[in-house]
Structure 1
Amino acid sequence: MTQTDILAQLNPRQREAAEAIDGPLLIVAGPGSGKTRLITYRIAYLVRVVGVSPRRIAALTFTNKAAREMRNRLAELVSHSINDMTVGTFHSFCAMTLRRESDLIGLDRNFAIYDDPDQLDVIKRSMRETDVDPKRFSPRAVQSSISKAKSSLLSAEGFGMRTASYFEEVVGRVYERYELLMAQSGAVDFDDLLLKMHRMLEQHPDIAARYQDRYVHFMIDEFQDTNVVQYAIARKLTETHRNLCVVGDPDQSIYSWRNADIRNILSFQDDFPDAKVITLEQNYRSTQTILDAADKLISANSQRIERELFTDNGDGAPIVVSEGYDEAEEAQMVLKEVGALTKNGSNGHKLGDIAVMYRVNAQSRALEEECLRYGVPYQLIGGQKFYQRQEVKDVAAYLRLVSNTNDDVSLNRIINLPTRGIGRRTLDELARFARDSSISQFDAIGNILPTDDQLAPIAANPFT
């Protein structure tokens, strides 16, 4: 396939970005500008025209859905070569690499990855064991502070040396205990995947050198949503070839609450003075009216990169702002508009063409009630995910415990499923016995005998 063939569907700016393959590259991609298309065609260009081995290309993004979409598009362009590429999320990339190198860095290859509820359970246990009152210090706030510290490359020891308030001192104590409990359980959290990856690259130059040599081209999508440690990993892995391509838009940075650091994209040119900057300004999704309104809103931001979005879609319908007396009237107004749009199909719209968005999940109730009242079918998006369902998490906990008997969180989840009459007092005694014996709770159960004077009889009975 020739260069003309593979890049024929790109506009001039996209083509320029696809062909810029030497050195650092910053692509400022406005909303709806076809950035995913660009990334996939850029990779196809590297493989099929330049002749780069698929194994030497990495493309990372931030959600599993985006990663799947990228892989599906690449499969159409480069066929079986996709199997040799590294395409996925930052977290999946780090998890894969840590498992692969586990023997060299002293990490259990079968480590469990705790999700948010599991992390919170360990945080609460850490607070109990360090005598921190959860009524005075919110476990969620403590968890958030630890996550922020890890995203800023601060270990428990490093955090403890930088405390500036009593709350931070408390967090430091919990952080230290939390890390110990996670290690005893053979588990990591999502922040650990990144922090341990960075630590491995820094502390093991031989491992770092292998990956630096392997990845000739390293690409990051949604770069405005990276945090400090993710950017540090990317910079470390591209020290040899320096072909780091980042795609993002500071105007679309919405994850600061998840420790995303907009300074990464704003300072990219300072970190790489020789970087090439290409701006994608043509929008394929919206009308000019919507683009102009969005630009007016975002123009007040001081931390941004100037660009002017345009589209060939025309001006489109004007934006309408309506105000209801209360949530019930708002819902009625929405349903009235839906009825007008779909009436007799005269406007060519179906119910499936219409989306209604709201700020918080609690606001869906009024809309749902109106839909039920008038018999309007609807689909609620963003409900409970499959793997968050209680029965699924219960089965997963059993499987994780079979794989790793040190996983205290999974043990505590299923120890009473089905009901075995084991109460809170018993579990507290078990945790104390395990802690004092420096063993897992699973091993502690095996060591408990009815006459064991280290554990109260009432606590020993349920396990015998």
Structure 2
Amino acid sequence: MTVEERERPTGAEAVLAGLDEQQRAAAAAVRGPVCILAGAGTGKTRTITHRIAYGVHTGVYTPEQVLAVTFTARAAGELRGRLSGLGVGGVQARTFHAAAMRQLRYFAPRVLGGPMPELVENKLRVVAGAATRHRLTTDRSSLRDLAGEIEWAKTTLATPDDYPARARAAGREAPFEPAAVAAVYESYEQLKQRDGTLDFEDLLLVTAYALEEHRDVATEVRGQYRHFVVDEYQDVNPLQQRLLDAWLGGRAELCVVGDPHQTIYSFTGADPDYLLGFADRYPDAEVVKLERDYRSTPEVVGLANKLIGMAPRRTGLPGLRLMGQRAAGPEPRFLEHPDEPAEAAAVAAACRELVDSGLPAAEIAVLFRINAQSQVYESALTDLGVPYVLKGGERFFERPEVREAVLLLRGAAAGRDDGSPLVPAVRDVLASVGWVEHRPPPGGAARDRWQSLSALVDLAVDLVAEQPALTLAGFVGHLAERANAQHAPTVQGVTLASMHAAKGLEWDAVFVVGLVDGVLPIAQSLARPDAVEEERRLLYVAVTRAREQLTLSWSLSRQPGGKRARPRSRFLTGVAPDAAVPVRTRVARRVEVVLDGPAGELFERLRAWRAATAAQASIPAYVVFNDATLQAIAETRPGSLTELSALPGIGARKLELYGTDVLAAVDGDDPH
């Protein structure tokens, strides 16, 4: 054995060797109760796994007696994989539901008098049956919202009798009156009991009941599991806490890990007070803070600290202030745009530029508040030939309500006089499926459906601004072109995601878009200060997804030509500079420097043509083509429509509208 090998740390020492001071303190705290406050990017999973491994290597833990609880199967799998790499096997790393399922399946004969009941395969079907009992007219969206209300009630331990008062106190936006929801909830429970089935909330409730009411079951489970670790503890709900308390049985061998700044799931029943009040429940708890951020540059970290630092101080555990550990990077950018299509076009152009510079598209993300915002970004990226993937939701044209609407629009176009104005025609068709202008319905799923249909109306308004004579048949054809382009398979692409879906992920470059009041914070949160602050934390989560490049943007109007009166998000006050960077000026300046000679002359000729075309149609110039596309045309000088269509930013519709004029400009002719 060499001197180097003899001096190399082994066993427990090796587990702690690669950790920083804060991580080491957390990993060495193997006796509970322990609370690890882990900020974004501070190595939370690394710390958890090294803590478990250190406890095993020091003999404090027997691996099979450790239960690590996570919120996703992916996170549980990652824990098991990392523990295996540290030479530790046998630890149970599971989600709450997976752990409860395993225990209840084993104890069902004792607790329930028979085998494990079947799980509800289709909750919406049972909810629909319950709603029918009370003669409620429901569509799929309202059924999803009813199911969501029942899940919220069960996770917060509210009975059907409790629901109306609890829902009002929590400011719930249900699809029906609270009394009607409570009646459906009660019938839902009766139908499950009739069929002898359980839903996923029942798994936790019945398992907790088994431990609370059956001493032999509690003795066996508590003898098996002696040490508990709970990840993302800020997201625990009352039902999960009840099961955790039942597992513990009054013991304190518990380590919880969480970040109060990333509490963004209160609407599902999550209660951050379990984390914030941990030291009150366990006065002798050891509290360790992880604040060294290894994910983001100091510039991104500084912005995140400033953003969350403007939130009202919450009582409970000490706060977190991230400290960036990476080398310096670019300052975050704050960009203001005249309207949403301009914002999307600028973001798409920036993504195109990043990809062309060598950054993999998979290392770029565009984050928005609601899924309905994805449509304009899907279209803008498609126009520039930038591949994308949509996370946490269906592509816009694959959403059931959009597919239904397109079918109805196609049918209406087949029997309508082409002289009819487009926008009123689209509104009339969508009104037939319940869409009402300016009146989003209560309930998350119903509101999502309304927003998707509104996006179709907005698209019609935008297209009429470009093509005043566009007919309903032409609009339907345009929708088909977009759908076909966006159905192209994309394995590696820019990630489009809601801020909620982005939690736990990270990218080199992140664009946080649509930052206007009424979107973030979302309109329905404005009546409740606590809900507004959760929206602030949601923005904090979005900001901390960026490793190196961060851009935050907003638009003053929803559509081109509209009144530019939308206020930027209140969360940017004191964070963003008063004046935003004029994106198009920056792009134009860069192009003017790069292009000279014949290419520069052609570029200026194309810009003059674009200005005249835009003025004639009363639309902003960038709606025709942005500067990046004009630069590509000037540099390649396409000689045919086929060659032109291969360039970024030249979709089928723009090729049809402007292709001949562009080729004329390339040939030196006057397109007008």
State the TM-score, normalizing by the size of structure 1. Answer: 0.74
How many Å apart are 1:90 and its aligned residue? Answer: 0.8
User: Which residue of structure 1 lines up, in the alignment, with residue 455 of structure 2?
Assistant: none
Is residue 2:362 matched to residue 1:340?
no
- Partner Cα separation in structure 2 for residue 39 and residue 323 of structure 1: 41
Amino acid at match of 1:109: P
Compare relative contact order (CA 8 Å, sep 6+) and give the higher one, 1 or 2.
1
Relative to structure 1, is the Cα distance of residues 154 and 364 closer, same or farther in structure 2, using a 3 angstrom cutoff? closer
Is residue 2:135 matched to residue 1:126?
no
- Partner Cα separation in structure 2 for residue 201 and residue 142 of structure 1: 30
- Partner Cα separation in structure 2 for residue 52 and residue 307 of structure 1: 29
- Partner Cα separation in structure 1 for residue 349 and residue 187 of structure 2: 56
- Partner Cα separation in structure 2 for residue 162 and residue 382 of structure 1: 29
- Partner Cα separation in structure 2 for residue 95 and residue 2 of structure 1: 34
Q: 1:330 aligns with which of 343, 346, 354?
A: 343
- Partner Cα separation in structure 2 for residue 6 and residue 57 of structure 1: 17
Q: 1:153 aligns with which of 129, 153, 157?
A: 157
Greater CA drift, 40-49 or 234-243: 234-243
User: Which residue of structure 1 lines up, in the alignment, with residue 98 of structure 2?
Assistant: 92
User: Which residue of structure 1 lines up, in the alignment, with residue 593 of structure 2?
Assistant: none
Is residue 2:81 matched to residue 1:67?
no
User: Which residue of structure 1 lines up, in the alignment, with residue 18 of structure 2?
Assistant: 9
User: Which residue of structure 1 lines up, in the alignment, with residue 276 of structure 2?
Assistant: 266
User: Which residue of structure 1 lines up, in the alignment, with residue 148 of structure 2?
Assistant: 144
Relative to structure 1, is the Cα distance of residues 123 and 18 closer, same or farther in structure 2, using a 3 angstrom cutoff? same
Relative to structure 1, is the Cα distance of residues 320 and 22 closer, same or farther in structure 2, using a 3 angstrom cutoff? same
Contact 1:224–1:264 (8 Å) recurs in 2: yes
Contact 1:149–1:159 (8 Å) recurs in 2: yes
Relative to structure 1, is the Cα distance of residues 160 and 307 closer, same or farther in structure 2, using a 3 angstrom cutoff? closer
Is residue 2:40 matched to residue 1:36?
no
Contact 2:292–2:322 (8 Å) recurs in 1: yes
User: Which residue of structure 2 lines up, in the alignment, with residue 102 of structure 1?
Assistant: 108
- Partner Cα separation in structure 2 for residue 357 and residue 102 of structure 1: 44
Q: 2:325 aligns with which of 293, 299, 312?
A: 312
- Partner Cα separation in structure 2 for residue 174 and residue 138 of structure 1: 12
Contact 1:47–1:78 (8 Å) recurs in 2: no
Bigger-Rg structure (1/2): 2
User: Which residue of structure 2 lines up, in the alignment, with residue 303 of structure 1?
Assistant: 314
- Partner Cα separation in structure 2 for residue 28 and residue 351 of structure 1: 33
1:308-355, Cα deviation, whole Å (9 max, x unpaired): 210221342111111223332122211221233344x3xx52333222
Amino acid at match of 1:28: L
Unmatched tracts of structure 1, length 5 or more: 391-464
- Partner Cα separation in structure 2 for residue 138 and residue 351 of structure 1: 37
User: Which residue of structure 2 lines up, in the alignment, with residue 228 of structure 1?
Assistant: 238
Q: 2:27 aligns with which of 11, 15, 18?
A: 18
Matches within 5 A, 1:338-417: 338-343=351-356, 345=357, 349-384=359-394
Is residue 2:137 matched to residue 1:112?
no
Q: 1:254 aligns with which of 264, 284, 289?
A: 264
- Partner Cα separation in structure 2 for residue 250 and residue 262 of structure 1: 7
Relative to structure 1, is the Cα distance of residues 109 and 161 closer, same or farther in structure 2, using a 3 angstrom cutoff? farther
Amino acid at match of 2:335: S
- Partner Cα separation in structure 2 for residue 320 and residue 45 of structure 1: 42
- Partner Cα separation in structure 2 for residue 90 and residue 256 of structure 1: 18
Contact 1:48–1:78 (8 Å) recurs in 2: no
What is the root-mean-square deviation of aligned Cα atoms in Å?
2.9
Relative to structure 1, is the Cα distance of residues 160 and 324 closer, same or farther in structure 2, using a 3 angstrom cutoff? closer
User: Which residue of structure 2 lines up, in the alignment, with residue 52 of structure 1?
Assistant: 61
Amino acid at match of 1:98: L
Amino acid at match of 1:333: A
3-state secondary structure, aligned to 2:148: helix
3-state secondary structure, aligned to 1:329: helix
Contact 2:234–2:259 (8 Å) recurs in 1: yes
Of all paired residues, the percent bearing the same amino acid is 36
Relative to structure 1, is the Cα distance of residues 293 and 87 closer, same or farther in structure 2, using a 3 angstrom cutoff? same
Relative to structure 1, is the Cα distance of residues 147 and 353 closer, same or farther in structure 2, using a 3 angstrom cutoff? closer
Matches within 5 A, 1:172-251: 172-239=182-249, 241-251=251-261
1:225-252, Cα deviation, whole Å (9 max, x unpaired): 0001212222232235421100001110
Greater CA drift, 284-293 or 186-195: 186-195
1:22-50, Cα deviation, whole Å (9 max, x unpaired): 22111110001111011111111122222
Greater CA drift, 376-385 or 283-292: 376-385
- Partner Cα separation in structure 1 for residue 265 and residue 165 of structure 2: 27
- Partner Cα separation in structure 2 for residue 251 and residue 157 of structure 1: 34
Unmatched tracts of structure 2, length 5 or more: 1-9, 170-175, 401-672
Contact 1:18–1:38 (8 Å) recurs in 2: yes
1:66-114, Cα deviation, whole Å (9 max, x unpaired): 11111211121135x2xx3221111111111111111111165353333
Is residue 2:286 matched to residue 1:280?
no
Relative to structure 1, is the Cα distance of residues 20 and 285 closer, same or farther in structure 2, using a 3 angstrom cutoff? same
3-state secondary structure, aligned to 1:27: strand
Contact 1:13–1:279 (8 Å) recurs in 2: yes
3-state secondary structure, aligned to 1:370: helix
State the TM-score, normalizing by the size of structure 2. Answer: 0.52
Relative to structure 1, is the Cα distance of residues 145 and 309 closer, same or farther in structure 2, using a 3 angstrom cutoff? same
Relative to structure 1, is the Cα distance of residues 110 and 194 closer, same or farther in structure 2, using a 3 angstrom cutoff? closer
How many Å apart are 1:158 and its aligned residue? Answer: 6.4
Greater CA drift, 328-337 or 24-33: 328-337
Amino acid at match of 2:322: L
Amino acid at match of 1:30: G
3-state secondary structure, aligned to 1:321: strand
3-state secondary structure, aligned to 1:364: helix
3-state secondary structure, aligned to 1:154: coil
Contact 2:80–2:91 (8 Å) recurs in 1: no
How many Å apart are 1:281 and its aligned residue? Answer: 0.6
How many Å apart are 1:164 and its aligned residue? Answer: 8.5
Contact 1:152–1:229 (8 Å) recurs in 2: yes
1:110-161, Cα deviation, whole Å (9 max, x unpaired): 533336xx222211211222445559x9544543332222112234576699
Greater CA drift, 187-196 or 124-133: 124-133
- Partner Cα separation in structure 1 for residue 18 and residue 160 of structure 2: 50
How many Å apart are 1:171 and its aligned residue? Answer: 3.3
Contact 2:35–2:255 (8 Å) recurs in 1: yes
Relative to structure 1, is the Cα distance of residues 230 and 310 closer, same or farther in structure 2, using a 3 angstrom cutoff? same
